[in-house]
């Protein structure tokens, strides 16, 4: 059974916030359903743009098979930084899962799929996103 | 309401006709655009159903769908439905074939740069079963964006109560005007207030229904002798508002175009 290190956030990501215990519940449920061994989560620092704990998680690969993040949108907003992290995970033979979205990256093509979703999400900030008073 | 005519749009006449039908009726029914893709979907379902029920041969495979209530007890219906749907969604070509069945109509009604729901839904409605009803609702009331359409594909012929109903846009406007008066009412009261205004969709296998899910719709007890099988999936233009069904977990882009890819990757040169 593959083992995945949990990774959760203690600050907002892309405008969203989720309590840490809820994030952990989602990770645990994801690993149970997908038959992965869930390793207790590392919690990212609340300092803006901090990815110190994320780097810690990456450093554990290949001792663990990969990382399970609560959401895809916890990754760095900066594209170069984001791709560097993800490429490092792949270069080390690891994989990264996103429990909320049910997505994962274990190959280059999966990385491009995730990157596409990221770019659209960022582009949406410049598109209409609300409808009258909704 | 904004309308589209050949005076204010560059769409060709045929596309304007389809657009006007959709806006007027709240839905559009058309033959499957790709018959091979539709056959692939139905035969994949058939294979999964036969595996689930351990049926080696069946002389009348066509009727297996309509008469499934004779093979699966109602107490097992939901677990059966979930299992079939899970297996279908795991087939790598399922969503691509689903898209092909509706592609040209989606290009006209939604656009050519689309996001598609990640998981396709399955409805199985037994005759005289009140356990799998979908009461009157509009998807926008519970978080779907009004920029979406639903592509609804019947796997059997659907008619009368074996089908679904939809409130036409003109009647929906009247309903919305009086909506406050419904405060404290039950959904059944709401249904009764529009019961004689709704359209019941008559659609045979081989055709698809594209409808506006912001219009109230649902089903009632199936009083026909056959089971309804239908699948549904939402599509929207990629760069339109998402409400509670986000990009990534619920929707995924399927037809991004070159200019958007270039634009999203573009960075202004920096002097410092």
The string of pLDDT tens digits covering residues B11-39 is: 999 999 999 999 999 999 999 999 999 99
Q: Which of A102, A116, A130 sits opposite B249 (nearest CB)?
A: A102
The verdict on a CB contact (< 8 Å) between A117 and B249 is no
Q: What is the ipTM of this complex?
A: 0.70
For A23-65, write each residue's pLDDT tens digit: 999 999 999 999 999 999 999 988 888 999 999 999 999 999 9
Interface test with B, best of A34, A70, A102, A116 (most B CBs within 10 A): A116
Strand ranges in chain B using DSSP code E only, listed in sequence order: 27-31, 114-117, 121-125, 148-154, 165-166, 199-200, 207-211, 217-218, 228-237, 251-253
Is 60 exceeded by the pLDDT of residue B152?
yes
- Give the nearest chain A residue to B143 (CA atoms): A134
Q: Which of B89, B238, B246 to mutate to test the interface with A (most CBs of A within 10 A)?
A: B246
Burial of B87 (0-12, 13-18, 19+ CB in 10 A): middle
CB distance A103–B248 less than 8 Å? yes
| C-alpha neighbours within 13 Å on the C-beta side of residue B41 | 30
Q: What is the pTM of this model?
A: 0.87
pLDDT at B100 over 60: yes
Q: Please check whether residue B251 touches A, CB under 8 A.
A: no
* Contact assessment for residue B39 and residue B99, using Cβ atoms and an 8 Å cutoff: no
What angle, 0 to 180 degrees and rounded to 10, lies between the N-to-C axes of helices A79-91 and A108-123? 160
How many Cβ contacts (< 8 angstroms) between chains A and B?
A: 47
The reported pLDDT for the residue numbered A132 is 65
Q: Could you tell me the residue ranges of all domains in chain B?
A: 13-255
Phi, psi at B224, each rounded to 5°: -90, 180
- Which two tokens mark A7? 């990774």
Q: How would you classify residue B218: left for phi > 0, otherwise alpha for psi between -120 and 50, otherwise beta? A: left
Q: What is the mean pLDDT of residues B233-237?
A: 98
pLDDT tens, position by position, A101-117: 999 999 999 999 999 99
A134 touches chain B (CB under 8 A): yes
What's the CATH number of domain B13-255, 2.60.120.620, 3.40.50.720, 2.102.10.10, 3.30.160.40? Answer: 2.60.120.620
Q: Nearest by CB to B241, which of A98, A119, A131?
A: A131
Cβ neighbours of A119 in B, within 8 Å: 264-265
């Amino acid at each position: 059974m593959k083992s995945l290190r949990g990774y959760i956030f203690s600050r907002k990501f892309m405008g969203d916030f989720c309590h840490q215990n809820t994030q952990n519940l989602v990770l645990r449920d994801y690993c149970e359903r997908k038959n992965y061994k869930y390793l207790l989560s590392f919690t990212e620092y609340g300092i803006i743009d901090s990815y110190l704990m994320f780097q810690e998680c990456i450093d554990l690969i290949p001792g663990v098979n990969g990382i399970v993040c609560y959401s895809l949108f916890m990754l760095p907003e900066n594209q170069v930084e984001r791709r560097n992290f993800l490429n490092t995970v792949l270069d080390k033979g690891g994989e990264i899962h996103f429990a909320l979205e049910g997505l994962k990256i274990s190959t280059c093509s999966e990385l491009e799929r995730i990157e596409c979703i990221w770019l659209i999400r960022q582009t949406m900030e410049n598109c209409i996103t609300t409808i009258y008073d909704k | 309401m904004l309308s589209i005519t050949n005076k204010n749009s560059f769409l060709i006449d045929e596309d304007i006709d389809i657009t006007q039908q959709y806006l007027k009726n709240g839905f559009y029914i058309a033959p499957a655009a790709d018959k091979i893709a539709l056959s692939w979907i139905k035969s994949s379902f058939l294979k999964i159903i036969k595996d689930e029920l351990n049926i080696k041969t069946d002389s009348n495979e066509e009727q297996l769908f309509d008469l499934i209530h004779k093979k699966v007890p109602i107490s097992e219906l939901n677990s059966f439905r979930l299992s079939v749907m899970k297996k279908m969604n795991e087939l790598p070509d399922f969503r691509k074939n689903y898209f092909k069945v509706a592609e040209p109509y989606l290009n006209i009604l939604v656009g050519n740069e689309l996001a598609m729901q990640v998981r396709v839904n399955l409805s199985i409605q037994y005759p005289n079963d009140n356990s799998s009803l979908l009461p009157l609702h509009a998807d926008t009331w519970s978080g779907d964006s009004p920029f979406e359409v639903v592509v609804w594909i019947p796997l059997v012929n659907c008619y009368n109560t074996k089908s679904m109903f939809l409130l036409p846009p003109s009647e929906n406007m009247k309903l919305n005007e009086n909506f406050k008066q419904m405060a404290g009412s039950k959904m059944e009261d709401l249904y009764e207030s529009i019961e004689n205004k709704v359209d019941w969709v008559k659609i045979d296998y081989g055709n698809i229904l594209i409808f506006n899910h912001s219009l109230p719709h649902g089903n009632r007890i199936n009083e026909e002798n056959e089971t309804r099988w239908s699948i549904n999936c939402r599509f929207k233009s990629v760069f339109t508002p998402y409400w509670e069904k986000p990009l990534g977990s619920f929707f995924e882009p399927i037809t991004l175009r070159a200019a958007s890819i270039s634009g999203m990757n573009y960075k202004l040169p920096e002097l410092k």
